[in-house]
């Protein structure tokens, strides 16, 4: 029986800047009088062929040049939420990279007001709850993260938590201990990318030194059985991004993706889209891709969706979490 609507899910690993589709990039470039080094959207899309994380990040940061005004950030968020609603996303905790914008002279308030305003207005229209997670660039100095954190303090009312992203290898988490301590003291939630390209030791360090509550990616944890046992014991959520892992060559093919093994180990794994404009798919596209390529059952898919709501920072609204979990249980996985 064909599915009439996508499986309800939470998106817990999505960089809003990674939702910038070529068409919107050209629209914003024209609006802001910026010349893009590509003649057409098609030519831009053809540049989306990556050899590793850094080759992607180079293009990802370059294209952000088109984001300048509060309206630009609001339009980006609105476009994402429209897609997310079509993909069964009911709750979205959305990363943004403030330093990538402030470094270009865009005030942090412009970024946050644009994103938070559209998340509230358009999220409400689509029935999507959510929050913003402010990420620090781990290949920038820890002092820059601290300055950014303090600059964002007036906006903490609309910020759910902090994260750590960008080039991983050679940038272990421990350097960011202080900003994570300040975030904890301010009542913000804490996550970090770890074990995407970097070793299992970075996952352990993120847990032990930064006190993170979820690990973004975490796929390389599987190389360390003791770490796996701990992640299972503590039910630490891992926000896995299958299409991203293949496009950034962290995994050789979807068929070789460790997701089934992660589920079999009893890890609290979720499926997410990371930078969907660049990697070929939004949340449900990732579910469809793993369903097609991997030996997953309908009940495995239900587990992934259930995990997404269990791992969501919905503690302030447990009745909503319970309703969303009930929707997952009632869904016909076929």
Ligand X SMILES: Nc1ncnc2[nH]cnc12
x/- mask, ligand X, residues 159-198, rule CB under 6 A, reads: ------xx--------------------------x--x--
Residue with Cβ nearer ligand X (193 or 257): 193
196 binds, among Zn ion, ligand X, none (CB under 5 to 8 A by kind): ligand X
The answer to whether the annotation marks 217 as part of a ligand binding site is: no
Q: How near is the Cβ of 53 to ligand X at its closest, in Å?
A: 6
Angstrom distances, CA of residue 56 to CA of 104, 173, 219, 275, 278: 19, 21, 19, 10, 8
Residue with Cβ nearer Zn ion (16 or 231): 16
The answer to whether the annotation marks 13 as part of a ligand binding site is: yes
The answer to whether the annotation marks 52 as part of a ligand binding site is: no
Residue with Cβ nearer ligand X (140 or 317): 140
Q: How near is the Cβ of 42 to Zn ion at its closest, in Å?
A: 26
Residues numbered 258 to 297 that lie near ligand X (CB under 6 A) are 274-275
Residues numbered 264 to 283 that lie near Zn ion (CB under 5 A) are 274
Q: Decide if residue 15 touches ligand X (CB under 6 A).
A: yes
SS3 per residue for the chain:
CCCCCCCCEEEEEEEHHHHCCHHHHHHHHHHCCCCCCCCCHHHHHHCCCCCCHHHHHHHHHHHHHHCCCHHHHHHHHHHHHHHHHHCCEEEEEEEECHHHHHCCCCCHHHHHHHHHHHHHHHHHHHCCEEEEEEEEECCCCHHHHHHHHHHHHHHHHHCCEEEEECCCCCCCHHHHHHHHHHHHHCCCEEEEEECCCCCHHHHHHHHHCCCCCEEEECHHHHHCHHHHHHHHHCCCEEEECHHHHHHCCCCCCHHHCCHHHHHHHCCEEEECCECHHHHCCCHHHHHHHHHHHCCCCHHHHHHHHHHHHHHCCCHHHHHHHHHHHHHHHHCCCC
Report the distance separating Cα 130 and Cα 119, nearest Å. Answer: 8
Residue with Cβ nearer ligand X (171 or 302): 171
Catalytic residue among 196, 197, 205, 301: 196
Active site residue 265: no
The answer to whether the annotation marks 274 as part of a ligand binding site is: yes
Q: How near is the Cβ of 269 to Zn ion at its closest, in Å?
A: 15
166 binds, among ligand X, Zn ion, none (CB under 5 to 8 A by kind): ligand X
Beta-carbon count within 10 A of 192 CB: 31
Residues numbered 80 to 139 that lie near ligand X (CB under 6 A) are none
Q: Decide if residue 245 touches ligand X (CB under 6 A).
A: no
Residue with Cβ nearer Zn ion (24 or 53): 53
Residues making up the binding site for Zn(2+): 13, 15, 193, 274
Residues making up the binding site: 13, 15, 193, 274-275
Which residues in this chain contact Zn ion in the complex, by CB under 5 A? 274
> Which residues are known catalytic residues?
196
Residues making up the binding site for substrate: 275
Which residues in this chain contact ligand X in the complex, by CB under 6 A? 15, 18, 53, 60, 165-166, 193, 196, 244, 274-275
């Amino acid at each position: 029986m064909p599915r009439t609507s996508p499986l309800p899910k939470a998106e817990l690993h999505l960089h809003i800047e990674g939702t910038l589709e070529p068409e919107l990039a050209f629209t914003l470039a024209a609006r802001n009088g910026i010349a893009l080094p590509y003649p057409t959207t098609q030519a831009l899309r053809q540049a989306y062929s990556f050899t590793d994380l850094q080759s992607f990040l180079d293009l990802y940061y370059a294209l952000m040049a088109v984001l300048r005004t509060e309206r630009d950030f609001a339009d980006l968020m609105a476009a994402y939420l429209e897609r997310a609603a079509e993909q069964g996303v009911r709750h979205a905790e959305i990363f943004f990279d403030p330093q990538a914008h402030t470094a270009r002279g865009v005030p942090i308030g412009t970024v946050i007001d644009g994103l938070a305003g559209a998340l509230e207005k358009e999220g409400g229209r689509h029935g999507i709850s959510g929050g913003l997670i402010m990420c620090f660039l781990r290949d920038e100095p820890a002092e820059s993260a601290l300055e950014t954190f303090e600059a964002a303090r007036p906006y903490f009312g609309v910020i759910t938590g902090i994260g750590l992203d960008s080039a991983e290898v050679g940038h272990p988490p421990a350097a960011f201990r202080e900003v994570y301590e300040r975030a904890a003291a301010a009542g913000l939630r804490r996550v970090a990318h770890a074990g995407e390209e970097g070793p299992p030791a970075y996952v352990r360090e993120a847990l032990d030194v930064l006190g993170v509550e979820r690990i973004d990616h975490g796929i390389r944890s599987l190389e360390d059985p003791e770490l796996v046992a701990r992640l299972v014991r503590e039910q630490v959520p891992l926000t896995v991004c299958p299409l991203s892992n293949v496009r950034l060559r962290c995994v050789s093919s979807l068929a070789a993706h460790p997701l089934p093994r992660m589920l079999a180990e009893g890890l609290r794994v979720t499926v997410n889209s990371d930078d969907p404009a660049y990697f070929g798919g939004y949340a449900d596209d990732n579910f469809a891709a793993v369903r097609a390529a991997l030996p997953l059952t309908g009940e495995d898919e239900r587990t992934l969706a259930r995990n997404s709501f269990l791992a969501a920072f919905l503690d302030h609204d447990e009745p909503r979490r319970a309703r969303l979990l009930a929707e997952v249980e009632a869904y016909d996985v076929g």
